[in-house]
Structure 1
Amino acid sequence: MEKAGAPPPPSLQVQYESLALEAALSTLLAVALYSALKMSVDGIRHWRARVSVLVVGAGPVGLTAALVAVRSGKVLKLTLLDERSRAALLCRAQQIALDPRSVRFLLGLGVDFDNMEGCWEQEHFFTKIGVFQEHLLSILEQHKRRLAVHILLGTKFSDDFLKKNLVSNWPEIIVLADGSRGESSAVLGISPEYIVESCNAYGANAVIERPDQRQVPTPEIRAHSLYFDLSAYGMDMSAMRKESPKPGFHLKIYGTFRNRYLALACPASDSKMVRFLRHTLNSSIMKNVFHQSFNAYKMDIEPRVNELTLHHIQCSARLFEIMLSHRRVTAAFIDGDNVVVTVEGEAARVLNFDTGCGVNLGLIGLESTEELIYKVATAMDQHDIFEALAAKIRHSKQVVEDFKQNGLFTTMFE
C-alpha cells in the first residue's frame, strides 16, 4: 500500500509530464494561430484601407501635396480645387528654385525634370512656377485612369462650397495649401494665430522689372563678404576700418532676366554699417547699394542698370529684421465630422524676406504627409488619429526649428 505524500510511480509521472507538455503546446499553438490570424486580418485591413483627400490650393505646394496623396497608395478619391482658373495658374512667370533636397523629394513622386523647361546649376533646378504647375497637373491627370481624381479649378473653398459639396460626404483628410493670404483655414475654424520669431539676421530686397528682357529660367548668382562705400552719405569709413573684422553682406540675384530679384542679408550684428543701414531715413541709399551690387555681379549677357534705367529698381528703404511666422495650429481634428486637417506651405509658414526659396520651405513640410495619410487610413480609433496628428505637428515644428537655425545659411550665406 502506497504511503500518503509519496511520489507517483514513474509511469504516472511520465503521463503527468506528457499532459502538461501537450497543454503547453496547445496553448502556444492557439496563441500562434490567433496571432497569425490577427496579423493576417490586420494586414488585409491595412492593405485595403483607403481614404478620400481634399487639397485646397493648386500652387506648387498644393499640387505636390496632391501628388503625394495619389502616390501613397492609400487614397481612393482625391479632390483638388483652386479659385484661380487653369490659365491663371499656368501663365505665372515667376521663377522658383528647387534645392537638391526638394529635387530628390519630387523625383520620388515621379516628377520628370528632363521634360520640364528649366535649367540646372549645382544640383539646383530653376523653372517658372507656371511650367512646374503644368507638369504636376499633367501627372495628376494621368492618375485619373486608376482612381477618382477631381480637379476643380475656378472653384473657391468657402462656406457655400461646404454646404453644397461636403455636408454629407466629408473627406477623411483636408490639406490646406492656399498661401499666406488664403481663407480656407478661417472657413474650417482653424486658429489664425501666428508665432513670429527672429532668424537672427537683417535683410533687404529689390526687384528689377524689364519688359524687354527674356522670360526664361536663369541660374542664381551669389556673392559673399560684401562691404559698401557709404562715405557719400556721411558714413565715416575710417572709423569703420577700426572696428574688429566682421562678416560682410551676402547677395543673391535670382529670377528671370525680365523679373530680376535681389536679396541682401547679413547676420544680426551691431556694427556701424548695419546700424546705419537699419536706421537711415534716406531711401535712396539702399537703391544705390542694389544698383551697384547688381552691376558688379550680374550675368555678362544681361544689360547694366544705368541712370536712365534706375527707376526700374524697387527696393526696401532700409535693412529690416528677418522674421519667420508660423501657425500655432498646423494640424487639427474636426471632431463632429471626423476629419483630419493639415496646413501646408505658406499657409503654415511664411518668411518676411524673399530669398527665392519659399517653395522649398513648403515642400519640406510635405515630407511627412504620406505617413499622415497612411496612419489615418489604417487608424482603428481616435487614439490612432491623434497619434498621427501628433507626429505631423512634431514634423511641422522641426521644419521651423531647422529653418531658424540653418535656413538662411543654406539659402543665402553659403
Structure 2
Amino acid sequence: MTMHGANTQSGAGRPNGSLEEQYGALAVDTALSTLLAVLVYVLLKVSLDGIRQWRAKVSVLIVGSGPVGLTAALVAVRSGKVLKLTVLDERPRTALLCRPQQIALDPRSVKFLLGLGVDFDNMEGCWHNEHFFTKIGVFQEYLLSILEQKKQKVNVKVHLGVKFTEDYLRRLPGQDWPRIIVVADGSCGDSCSVLGISSDYIVESCNAYGANATIERLDQRQVPTPEIRAHSLYFDLSAYGVDAIKETRGVTQAAAMKPGFHLKIYGTFRNRYMALVCPLSDSKMVRFLRHTTNSSIMKNIFYQSFNAYKTDIEPRLNELTQRHMQCSRKLFEVLLSHRRVSAAYVEGDNVAVTVEGEAARVLNFDTGCGVNLGMRGLESLGRFIYRTATAVDRNDVLEALSAKIQHSKQVAESFRQTGLASAMFQ
C-alpha cells in the first residue's frame, strides 16, 4: 500500500513536470524567435538605409565661379553625393581668367585645398611662410581644369556668361531642378534676392582701424610675390602739428603705448597693394588720422612706407607714380558684415540654399583676407551636402540647414575675434 501510494504520487508528478518543461521551452523558443525577428529587421533596415545612403545623390547648382564658388564646386564633387553639378557665372571665361589680383592662401586654406586634391606644384605662384600666393585668374583656371577632369564621375556643367535670374529658374525643366543651391556670387550679386533670402546684415567691429592703397605700374611684371610685413610703426606727423613720440623721463611715449601700426605690402609687382592697420586706441595720432580733412597725409604715409619696406628688386615710388596712387583719405573702422540668414529652405520647390563667400560675409578691408574667410565657410559644405542628400524627410533637411547656419555664425565670430589680428598683427 505504502509503496503503491508512492508510485502513484510519482506517476502523478511526471505530467506536471513535463508540462512546465514544455512551457519553458515554448517561452525560450518564443523569445529566440522574437529576438531573431528583431535582429533580422534591424539588419535589414540598416542594410537598406546603408544602401539608400550609399545610392543617395542630389543635383547641385552653384551660382558664381570666383575662388569660393569653384572651391565649393570641388567640395561638392568630392562629397560623393552629387549626381549633377552646374556652375553659373554671368561673366565670360576670358573675364574670369584674366583677373590679375593676387590672393594669399593662408596655411589653413592650403591644408583644406590639399584635402580636396589641389596640387600647388602645378599652379603658378610662390610660397612664403607656409602661405601660397597666386593670381585669382590662375587659381580659377586651375580649379576649372580639375572640374573638367571630374566629368567622368559626375555630370559637371559649367555655364559662363549665363546670369542667374527668375527667368532662368522658370525655364528649368522639373527634372533638372537642383536639390541644393550654393550662392557664391559676391557682395554685389543678387542671387539671394532672386531666391527670396533676406538681405539683412549684422555689422560688427573688428576692433581695429585701417586704411589701404593701390597703385598700378605698367612697366612691372605681373607675377605673384610674397607679402611684406612691418610692425610697430609710428609716423612723424610733426609737420601737421602732431608729435607721435615724446621723451618722458628717459622712456619714449611710444614704448609705453600699445603696439603701433602694422603694414602689409602685397600683390604683383604691377598691381601693388598696401594695407595699414592698428588696434582700436584713442591716441593723439590715431584721433588725428581718423578725423583729418587733408587727403594728402595718408598718401604721404603710404608713399614713405612703401619706399622704406619694398623689395630690393622693385623701383621706389617717385612723385610721378605717387600721383597715380589711390588710397583711403583717412583711417576708418574695420568692420565685418555677415548675413543674419546664411542658409534657407525654399519649401515650395524643395530646395536647400546656402550662401558662401562674400555673399555671406564681407570685410570692408582689402587685405587679402576675403578668400580665406570664404574658405572657412566651405569647411562644413561637404557635410551639409551629405546630410541633405541622405535626408529621409523635411526635418532632416532643416536640421542640416540649422547646422550650416550655426557654422556660418561661428566663422564670423571667430574672424571678428582673432581673424584680423592673425592676418595683420603677426
TM class by shorter-chain length?
A: over 0.9
The CA distance in 1 between the partners of 2:115 and 2:166, in whole Å, is 36
Unaligned runs of 5+ in 2: 1-7
CA separation in 1, counterparts of 2:226 and 2:60?
Answer: 36
Aligned partners of 1:198, 1:169: CA distance in 2, in Å?
Answer: 42
SS at match of 1:204: strand
- For residue 376 of structure 2, the aligned residue among 341, 364, 368 is 364
Farther off after superposition, 396-405 or 103-112 = 103-112
Instruction: Give the greater-gyration-radius structure (CA).
Output: 2
Output one character per residue of 1:97-149: Cα deviation in whole Å (capped at 9) or x when no partner: 10111111111111111111000111110001111000000110111122211
Give the residue type in structure 1 aligned to 2:168.
F
Say whether the 8 Å CA contact 1:210–1:312 is kept in structure 2: no
1:74-85 to structure 2, matched below 5 A, reads 74-85=81-92
Post-superposition shift, 1:403? Answer: 0.2
Question: Within the alignment, does 1:180 sit opposite 2:192 as a pair?
Answer: no
**Could you tell me whether the CA contact under 8 Å between 1:83 and 1:153 is conserved in 2?**
yes
Q: Which sits farther off after the overlay, 29-38 or 155-164?
A: 155-164
Asked if residue 380 in structure 1 is aligned to residue 392 in structure 2, the reply is yes
Aligned pair partner of 1:115 in 107, 117, 122:
122
What pairs with 1:53-72 in structure 2 (closer than 5 Å)?
53-72=60-79
Q: How do 1:221-300 residues align onto structure 2 when only pairs under 5 Å count?
A: 221-237=228-244, 241-242=252-253, 244-300=256-312
Deviation at 1:79, TM superposition (A): 0.6
Alignment match of 2:24 (pick from 17, 32, 56): 17
Distance 1:52 1:41 in 2: 22
Match of 2:225, SS state, is coil
Distance in 2 between residues matched to 1:208 and 1:169, nearest whole Å = 46
Is the Cα–Cα contact under 8 Å of residues 205 and 315 in structure 1 kept in the other structure?
A: yes
Question: CA–CA distance in 2 between the matches of 1:237 and 1:355?
Answer: 26
**Could you list the per-position Cα deviations for residues 185-228 of structure 1 after superposition, in whole angstroms to 9, with x for gaps in the alignment?**
11111111111111111000011211111100000011111111
**Counterpart of 1:345?**
357
Q: Could you say which residue in structure 2 is the equivalent of 1:409?
A: 421
Distance 2:341 2:72 in 1: 18
Aligned counterpart in structure 1 of residue 406 of structure 2, from 394, 399, 402: 394
Corresponding residue for residue 316 of structure 2? 304
Contact 1:172 1:338 in 2 (8 A): yes
SS at match of 1:45: helix
CA distance in 1 between counterparts of 2:53 and 2:268 reads: 47
Distance 2:346 2:177 in 1: 10
Mapped partners of 1:298, 1:17: distance in 2: 92
Q: Deviations over 1:329-375 (max 9, x none)?
A: 11000000000011100000000011112101001101111111111
TM-score by length of 2: 0.93
Q: Does 1:207 align with 2:201?
A: no
CA distance in 2, matches of 1:273, 1:166: 62
User: What do the CA deviations read for 1:50-89 (whole angstroms, capped 9, x no partner)?
Assistant: 0000000011111011111111110000111101111111
Per the alignment, residue 227 of structure 2 pairs with 220
Query: What TM-score results when the alignment is normalised by the length of structure 1?
Result: 0.96
Identical residues among aligned pairs (%): 73
Aligned to 1:332: 344
Q: Which amino acid aligns with 2:227?
A: E
Per the alignment, in what secondary structure is the counterpart of residue 258 of structure 2?
A: coil
Offset of 1:280 from its aligned partner?
Answer: 1.1
Q: What CA distance in whole angstroms lies between the structure 2 residues aligned with 1:400 and 1:115? A: 32
CA distance in 2, matches of 1:373, 1:239: 59
Q: Over aligned residues, Cα RMSD in angstroms?
A: 1.7
Shift of the 368–237 alpha-carbon distance from structure 1 to 2, 3 Å rule, reads closer
Residue 148 of structure 1 aligns with which residue? 155
Aligned length: 411
Which AA in structure 2 matches 1:339?
Answer: V
The residue number in structure 2 matching 1:322 is 334
- Secondary structure at the aligned position of 1:19 is classed as helix
Please say if residues 235 and 244 of structure 2, whose CA atoms lie closer than 8 Å, have aligned partners that are also in contact.
no
Whole-angstrom CA distance in 1 between matches of 2:244 and 2:278? 19
Assess if the C-alpha contact under 8 Å between 2:212 and 2:328 holds in 1. yes
Matches of 2:78 and 2:351 in 1, distance apart?
A: 21
Within 2, Cα distance between the matches of 1:143 and 1:238? 60
Residue 244 of structure 2 contacts residue 285 of structure 2 at CA under 8 Å; is this kept in 1?
no
Q: Distance between the aligned counterparts of 2:290 and 2:126, measured in 1?
A: 36
Instruction: Give how far 1:9 is off.
Output: 4.5
CA distance in 2 between partners of 1:178 and 1:309 (Å): 34
